[in-house]
Amino acid sequence: MDFILRPWCFDDVDCLIKYGSNPRITQLMSDGFSNLFTTEKATAFIGFANSGNDKLYRTIEINGEASGGIGVMLQTDIYQKNAELGYWLAEPYWGNGIISRAIKMIVEDAFQTFDINRVYATPFATNTASQRVLEKAGFTLEARHFKKVFKNGEYLDELIYVKLR
């Protein structure tokens, strides 16, 4: 299945809300993401995604629609050589290898764009599909942070997956 990574634009607001607000997605993401789905907040997110020079935030376009998001965010201070990776995909397209390929593309772009030596991602320990895509994209499990996450009234372990330059 074909897809492209491209910058978000304001015309993507409706698709962002339609696909991103799916509880099967939001339950595996931060509360910041889960609370994005009003026109006002989704519009503000797209403005943020295209601001500054500390991030590469892209939408995953499939069949002409913004059908997911993937991004890396540069860290600061003593963590300035790190970037954090995050991603989600519209449910109709799960299981086609799209995110595994998209991670490889954005990580390569991040290592070319930023003077960083480490990209990391922090899936919940319950999110086996996300762990699998990170492994397929060449990431290594580095650590488990016990009960670090509090999501939907539950404590969850967080995993740290890393790819060094």
User: How many whole angstroms separate alpha carbon 144 and alpha carbon 87?
Assistant: 20
Q: Which of residues 23-52 bind ligand COA (CB under 6 A)?
A: 25, 28-29
- Is 42 or 89 the residue whose CB approaches ligand COA more closely? 89
Q: Would you say 2 or 77 has its CB closer to ligand COA?
A: 2
Q: What are φ and ψ of residue 29, in 5° steps?
A: -115, 175
Q: What is the C-alpha to C-alpha distance for residues 93 and 75, in angstroms, rounded to an integer?
A: 30
Q: By C-beta, is 8 or 87 nearer to ligand COA?
A: 87
Cβ closest to ligand COA, residue 23 vs residue 77: 23
Is 127 near ligand COA (CB under 6 A)?
Answer: yes
In this structure, are residues 42 and 10 in contact, taking their beta carbons and an 8 Å threshold? no
Which part of the chain contacts ligand COA (CB under 6 A), choosing from 2-10, 21-29, 45-53, 139-147? 21-29
Closest to 154 in 3D by CA, of 20, 27, 3, 64: 27
Structure-token pair, residue 9 = 């634009």
Residues that bind ligand COA (CB under 6 A): 25, 28-29, 87-89, 94-100, 123, 127-130, 132-133
